[in-house]
């Protein structure tokens, strides 16, 4: 590794912490990059409900603990992801012994005991939790997304999740986290949700903007408008899952074996503009986390299009800094 290479976390020390999502596998593959470039880590999957409590009252903390140990040994902060979500949550959570939906009281009890166990285990070691993930409906006029949590408990499942998490670790910062966060319609709904939580005195301390964007959009103007709007709530913002796909979401092509020069140039310009904005909003943004480390592995490989690879990060498949990296650290 080039000794002279700049460091994202050092360059941005006075702005915000810089994070990356890792797994027990990628923390070894990327250890050199992680140690030098990132001061905050998130488990990409290892702290999700289905991973931690695959069966009733049967917890498996082995992978999560491995990541926590790696973070502790290397002096990295950890963001927790995620406690209450409609995905990657096993069906048993919502079912009774006969396979029927459980009652509201029973589901609240299961939610609380999961949150108590997980947040309690890492109390004092995880500085921020994504308490509720993706509860807002995308397109329609509907406010909250249809989910078992909503169906069984009702809209206050969100309040309860935050209250339980706050009881389990009063010092952890509690976040609402969502995607398509720059879309004006969804943005308004996210802001309405957060404002209502604040008005009811629910312990929410920040908003997580996933930022799964691509080289075609959202535009810098749309991103700035969103940052302004979210900042007006007076809560800190975390950019929780940043990546910049080189494809439009719906692009079906699977024959691109390496990113074209045009793609990489567009990505460099986009990253440059996005980080200019992040720097301009440093008073509101406390953390910027990438949803991965380097282009040899990303959740966007094969998603949402099977057979389509992607190259969304600042480091290439050989873990070398891309042009986008040099622009992001040059200001
Ligand atoms: C995030 N969801 C999650 O927060 C994170 O935990 C996970 O590791 C990766 C991304 C982003 C997302 C949400 C909805 C979505 C796609 C991505 O919707 C679709 C699902 C299937 C097909 C098309 C869209």
Q: What is the pLDDT of residues 61-115, one digit of tens each?
A: 999 999 999 999 999 999 999 999 999 999 999 999 999 999 999 999 999 999 9
What is the C-alpha to C-alpha distance for residues 106 and 2, in angstroms, rounded to an integer? 55
Q: Separation of 41 CA from ligand 1 center, angstroms?
A: 19
Q: Separation of 6 CA from ligand 1 center, angstroms?
A: 31
Test site for ligand 1: of 133, 137, 210, 252, most ligand atoms within 8 A of the Cβ: 210
Over range 291-296, report the average pLDDT. Answer: 98
Proportion of the chain in helix, strand, coil states, percent, rounded to 5: 40, 20, 45
Ligand 1 atom closest to the Cα of residue 88 is 6
Test site for ligand 1: of 134, 177, 248, 252, most ligand atoms within 8 A of the Cβ: 134
Q: Which residues pair with 176 in a beta bridge?
A: 132, 207
Q: How buried is 20 (Cβ within 10 angstroms: 0-12 exposed, 13-18 middle, 19+ buried)?
A: buried
Contact between 106 and 152 (Cβ < 8 Å): no
Ligand 1 proximal residues by C-beta, below 6 Å: 44, 133, 179, 210, 212, 241, 299, 304
Considering the candidates 44, 46, 134, 181, report the single residue annotated as catalytic.
Answer: 134
Test site for ligand 1: of 304, 308, 312, most ligand atoms within 8 A of the Cβ: 304
Per-residue pLDDT tens over the stretch 302-320: 999 999 999 999 999 999 9
Q: Separation of 248 CA from ligand 1 center, angstroms?
A: 15
Q: Indicate if the pLDDT at residue 2 is higher than 70.
A: no
pLDDT at residue 4, rounded to an integer = 87
DSSP codes, 100-140: SBPPHHHHHHHHHHHHHHHHHHTTTT-SEEEEEES-B-SSS
CA distance to 166, 244, 294, 295, 308, per residue, from 89 (Å): 21, 27, 28, 28, 26
Six token digits for residue 119 = 């947040």
Contact between 162 and 132 (Cβ < 8 Å): yes
Q: Indicate if the pLDDT at residue 262 is higher than 80.
A: yes
Per-residue pLDDT tens over the stretch 6-35: 999 999 999 999 999 999 999 999 999 999
Q: Indicate if the pLDDT at residue 1 is higher than 90.
A: no
Q: Separation of 297 CA from ligand 1 center, angstroms?
A: 16
Q: Which helix (H) or strand (E) holds 45?
A: none
What is the C-alpha to C-alpha distance for residues 6 and 72, in angstroms, rounded to an integer? 23
Q: Separation of 45 CA from ligand 1 center, angstroms?
A: 12
Task: Tell me if residue 269 is catalytic.
Answer: no
CB half-sphere exposure, 256, CA atoms < 13 A? 20
DSSP conformation class of 249: T
Residue nearest to atom 16 of ligand 1 (CA): 304
Residue nearest to atom 19 of ligand 1 (CA): 304
Instruction: Say what the pTM is.
Output: 0.97
Q: Which residue, among 61, 25, 63, 19, has the nearest Cα to 41 in the 3D structure?
A: 19
Question: In the chain, which ranges are E strands?
Answer: 17-22, 40-43, 77-84, 128-133, 173-178, 206-209, 212-214, 237-245, 285-290
Contact between 297 and 281 (Cβ < 8 Å): no
Q: Separation of 137 CA from ligand 1 center, angstroms?
A: 13
CA angle 217, 223, 227 (to 5 degrees): 160
Residue 10's contacts (CB-CB under 8 Å, 6 or more residues apart) are: none
Residue nearest to atom 20 of ligand 1 (CA): 304
CB half-sphere exposure, 135, CA atoms < 13 A? 30
CA distance to 5, 17, 279, per residue, from 11 (Å): 11, 10, 11
Contact between 137 and 92 (Cβ < 8 Å): no
CA distance to 122, 247, 287, per residue, from 322 (Å): 35, 18, 22
Task: Tell me if residue 323 is catalytic.
Answer: no
- What confidence category does residue 139 fall into, taking pLDDT thresholds of 50, 70 and 90? confident
Residue nearest to atom 23 of ligand 1 (CA): 304
């Amino acid at each position: 590794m080039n000794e002279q290479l700049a460091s994202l976390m050092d360059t941005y020390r006075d702005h915000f912490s810089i994070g990356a999502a890792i797994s027990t596998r990628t923390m070894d593959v990327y250890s050199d990059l992680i140690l030098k470039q990132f001061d905050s880590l998130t488990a990409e999957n290892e702290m999700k409900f289905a991973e931690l409590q695959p069966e009733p009252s049967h917890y498996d903390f082995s992978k999560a603990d491995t990541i926590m140990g790696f973070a502790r040994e290397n002096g990295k902060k950890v963001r927790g992801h995620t406690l209450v979500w409609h995905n990657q949550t096993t069906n048993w959570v919502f079912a009774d012994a006969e396979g029927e939906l459980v009652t509201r009281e029973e589901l609240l009890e299961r939610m609380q005991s999961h949150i108590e166990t997980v947040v309690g285990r890492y109390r004092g070691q995880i500085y921020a939790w994504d308490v509720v993930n993706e509860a807002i409906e995308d397109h329609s006029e509907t406010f909250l997304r249809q989910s078992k949590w909503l169906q069984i408990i009702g809209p206050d499942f969100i309040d309860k999740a935050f209250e339980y998490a706050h009881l389990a670790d009063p010092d952890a910062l509690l976040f609402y986290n969502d995607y398509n966060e720059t879309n004006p319609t969804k943005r308004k709904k996210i802001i309405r949700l957060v404002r209502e939580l604040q008005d009811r005195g629910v312990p929410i301390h920040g908003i997580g903007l996933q930022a799964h964007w691509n080289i075609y959009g959202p535009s810098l103007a749309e991103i700035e408008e969103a940052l302004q709007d979210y900042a007006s709530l007076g809560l800190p913002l975390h950019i929780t899952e940043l990546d910049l796909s080189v494809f439009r979401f719906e692009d079906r092509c699977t024959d691109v074996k390496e990113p074209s020069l045009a793609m990489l140039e567009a990505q460099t310009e986009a990253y440059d503009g996005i980080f200019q904005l992040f720097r301009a909003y440093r008073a509101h943004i406390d953390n910027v986390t990438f949803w991965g480390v380097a282009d040899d592995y990303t959740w966007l490989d094969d998603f949402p299009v099977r057979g389509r690879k992607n190259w969304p990060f600042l480091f290439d498949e050989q873990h070398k800094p891309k042009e986008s990296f040099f622009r992001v650290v040059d200001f």
